Structure formats: C-alpha cells, structure tokens
Amino acid sequence: MISEELLSLLVCPMGKAPLRLEDQTLVCTRCGVRFAIKDDIPNMLVEEAELPEGCHSLSELDCVKAGAAKVDPV
C-alpha cells in the first residue's frame, strides 16, 4: 500500500499535478492518466500509463492541450 507520505510527494510526470489513489492505481487529478501500482511500486512511465476514457493519445490530454506538459513525438 502506498503511504500518505509518499502519495503527497508523487506528481504526474506529464503536467506535475497531484495524484490520487484509486484501488491499485494512481490517477492524475488534472488529466486523468492512470498509473498502475504493482507490488506496492508505482509505475510512473508515461508510455505504460492508461489514458482516460475517450483519449486516444498523449497529445489529447488536457495538460498537453493547456501547454502544461510536452509530448515528445513518436
């Protein structure tokens, strides 16, 4: 289980927004990207994150559209 202390330090690697804990995932409070937690270790790799419903690419995220995050071209 992720401690409250660790949760308070973690931010979304895309737009640096705080994360909230939902079941076994960390969810960005701004763009909704979901990061899996396996064996109590958060996987913060953007490439392996689950995009929010209706979003088909990183460039469609609210934080990227607002200019708060930058996506490297693939």
Q: What is the pLDDT averaged over residues 47-72?
A: 87
Q: What single-letter amino acid sits at 21?
A: L
pLDDT value at residue 66: 85
User: The whole model's pTM is what?
Assistant: 0.86
47: its two tokens: 């490439």
pLDDT at 64 over 90: no
Helix (H, G, I), strand (E, B) or coil at 27: strand
Domains defined for the chain, CATH in brackets: 4-65 (2.20.25)
CA dihedral angle for residue 62, residue 40, residue 10, residue 32, rounded to 10 degrees: 10
- pLDDT tens per residue, range 3-47: 899 999 999 998 899 999 999 999 999 999 999 999 989 999 999
